Amino acid sequence: MLDIVFMGTPDFAIPTLESILESGNSIVGVVTQPDRPRGRGKKLMPSPVKKWALEKGINVYQPENINTTEVVEELKSLEPDLIVTAAFGQIVSKEVLDIPPLGCINVHASILPKYRGASPIQQAIIDGEDETGITIMYMDEGMDTGDIILQKYTSIDPEENAGSLHDRLAILGGQAIVEALELFREGKVEGTPQDNTMATYCKKIDKSWGEIDWNNGKEELKNLVRGLTPWPGCFTFYEDERLKIWKIDILDTKLMKKVPVAGEIVISDEKNGLVVGCGDGFVRLTCIQGEGGKAMKDTEYIKGHLLQVGSKLGR
């Protein structure tokens, strides 16, 4: 049995935590981000990882900075064999990395070295990838640059969005950590160095990415909507109203029998929905949400809102 300190913050980390406990190993402490203000009332709320750990009676640590001398000494006192991280949200110093004799390992939501960085799930979809997975890797002082311990692959469905892929990868991460911990029962595992020439980096998601540029191609638009759903979401404007776009479908340009004009509404009725031109064809906005409303099918939305054929979406 291994004594493990776990570091993580969001929902993504929960299946990994569950799997560590179910594997018979011991979680001697959980480190997570401090409570943050959330919701309309900006009330301080604990992270999903903190809530999980408290329910299990596991000690929780919430340092603003994990790399201070005081925190490093506290982690040393726990005497972990291994530190496991999953979406923790802080850069970990060499002093922390050197604490456990078996090292620090991370559950990363891509097949490294591709998609290092903050948003590998979203970026893989935005880029139109048809495959991704989980990498269990050693942590070092770089950004997702450590040696690879094992990888598990999964396909990306062409209709899948970031929310559903996130949930599947979280479960896959739990499966992968169990396999990895088995390897550590015999001592420290030898990893495989990454090929840095193949590395790509993805940035932290910014809400501004979600504004639709109708000059872009239909595949690019569809993948952007998939990649930014459910958060932060894609949007456009009809006159002064902001429309959130939850799902779009690509239409056969040959069937439309006209030249697409970027952002132009070409169909808007209760039978055929809302169809818009883009850079290389036509897309249907099959699920949309008006300001102050709820997400609904385009055919339902059109019943209560006039979106004039010939008018243009966008600012």
pLDDT digits (tens, 9 = 90+) for 155-205: 999 999 999 999 999 999 999 999 999 999 989 999 999 999 999 999 999
CB neighbour list of residue 61: distance below 8 Å, 6 or more residues apart: 29, 30, 31, 32, 71, 74, 75
- Report if residue 312 sits inside a domain: no
For residues 11 and 78, state if they share a domain: yes
Q: Is residue 14 part of a domain?
A: yes
Q: What is the tens place of the pLDDT at every residue in 240-275? A: 899 999 999 999 877 788 899 999 999 999 999 999
- Separation of alpha carbons 239 and 226, rounded Å: 24
Q: How many separate domains does the chain show? A: 2
Which one of 156, 177, 202 terminates a domain?
Answer: 202
Res 89: pLDDT: 87
Residue 309 lies in a domain: no
Q: Is residue 25 domain-resident?
A: yes
> What is the model's pLDDT at position 255?
76
**Per-residue pLDDT at 179:** 97
pLDDT computed for residue 256 by the predictor: 81
Give how far Cα 215 sits from Cα of 64, 163, 218, Å: 43, 26, 9
- 102-135 pLDDT, tens per residue? 999 999 999 999 999 999 999 999 999 999 999 9
pLDDT at 134: 98
Q: Do 133 and 236 lie in a common domain? A: no
Are 170 and 247 in the same domain?
A: no
Judgement on whether residues 176 and 227 belong to the same structural domain of the protein:
no
Domain shared by 194 and 229, yes or no: no
Q: Is residue 313 part of a domain?
A: no
Which of 202, 218, 243 is the last residue before a domain boundary?
202
Q: How many CA atoms lie within 13 A of 67 on its CB side?
A: 9
Same domain, 197 and 237: no
Is the full-model pTM beyond 0.85? yes
Strands 281-289 and 273-278: antiparallel
Same domain, 226 and 184: no
CATH of the domain at 296: 3.10.25.10
Average pLDDT over residues 89-100: 95
41 has a pLDDT exceeding 90: no
Do residues 168 and 219 both lie within one domain?
no
Find the mean pLDDT for residues 66-94: 96
Mean pLDDT, the chain, as a whole number? 96
Q: Are 141 and 248 part of one and the same domain?
A: no
- Residue ending a domain, choose from 184, 202, 220: 202
pLDDT at 60: 97
The pLDDT score that the predictor gives to residue 5 is 98
Query: The domain containing residue 292 runs over which residues?
Result: 207-304
Same domain, 193 and 222: no
Give the per-residue pLDDT at 115.
Answer: 97
- 109 and 18 together in one domain: yes
Average pLDDT over residues 62-83: 97
Separation CA 56–CA 54 (nearest Å): 5
In a domain, 310, yes or no: no
Q: pLDDT tens digit string along 3-29?
A: 999 999 999 999 999 999 999 999 999
Confidence bin at 39 (pLDDT 50/70/90) = confident
CATH code (residue 43): 3.40.50.170
Does 183 share its domain with 241? no
Surface-to-core class of residue 4, CB atoms within 10 Å of its CB (0-12 exposed, 13-18 middle, 19+ buried): buried
